[in-house]
Structure 1
Amino acid sequence: MSYGKEVREALRAPTRALRQAIPGVYQGYRELHEAALAPGALDTKAKELIALAIAVSKECDGCIAAHAHGAVQHGATPQEAAEAIGVAFLMNGGPATVYGARAFAAFTEFHEAQGERAGA
């Protein structure tokens, strides 16, 4: 099973339907998302890694896929992702070991795909 691309693909249609039903809410969330991840004292890569660790703690596969992808897009390395996930272990205990493995698999999937695109 893919914890990255397959999760994102499975969520596309239901997310689109809900976004059409409540466009204002989604617009507000989009603005919050952009503001929260904008570079400031922390760069976007660090913020995506924080979000990935929180997604592990929240046990949210969709969030894991989104922020694993975002972390890769902003230049995070597998080691940086692993260490961020390790902090989630500290803060969340045993359940984080399950969702942490999913998060690392998703990150690795996106990281390898980006490497393939760069080498192509």
Structure 2
Amino acid sequence: MGYGKTVQDELREPARHLRKAIPAVYQGFGQLHEAALAPGAVDAKTKELIALAISVSKECDGCIAAHARGAVRNGATIEEGAEAIGVAIMMNGGPATVYGPRAFAAFQEFVRERDEPHG
């Protein structure tokens, strides 16, 4: 299992417990998430790539995994993911050179999963 799925698996159960404890907060965040990433003047793929770059700058492993997966699900290519991460490195410097490779590993993992023949 790769980086992205490992992070998502580690967070799944604790997040489930917290979501049960504060459902209104999670419901509100879910609505914000849905509204912010909905296609509009900027398409969903580009919004996910922006979120991926911000995730690197915020040094958030869970965010990296979620938005790498989201970008891939919206059709982002390896090259687009790499360039978005490159912008994060430019804006955040040294720490992004640590979280950027994590993001790229997760991104590549989700691309491989998307591109695997199912059958």
TM-score tier (shorter): over 0.9
Identical counterparts, % of pairs: 71
Residue of structure 2 equivalent to 1:87: 87
**Which AA in structure 2 matches 1:95?**
P
**Which AA in structure 1 matches 2:6?**
E
In 2: Cα distance, 1:83 partner to 1:89 partner: 10
* TM-score, normalised relative to structure 1: 0.96
Residue of structure 2 equivalent to 1:20: 20
In 2: Cα distance, 1:27 partner to 1:112 partner: 31
SS of residue paired to 1:75:
coil
Tell me if structure 2 keeps the 8 A contact 1:52–1:67: yes
- Structure 2: stretches of 5+ with no match in the other structure: none
**Which AA in structure 2 matches 1:90?**
M
What pairs up with 1:32-71 in 2 under 5 angstroms?
32-71=32-71
The answer as to 2:10 corresponding to 1:4 is no
CA RMSD of aligned residues (A): 1.0
Q: How many residues align?
A: 119
Residue 119 of structure 1: how far off its partner (Å): 4.9
What pairs up with 1:75-114 in 2 under 5 angstroms?
75-114=75-114
Tell me if structure 2 keeps the 8 A contact 1:11–1:62: yes
Residue 3 of structure 1: how far off its partner (Å): 2.0
Cα shift readout 1:63-91 (whole Å, capped 9, x = no counterpart): 00000000000000000000000000110
In 1: Cα distance, 2:118 partner to 2:27 partner: 36
Residue 103 of structure 1: how far off its partner (Å): 0.1
In 1: Cα distance, 2:25 partner to 2:63 partner: 18
- Structure 1: stretches of 5+ with no match in the other structure: none
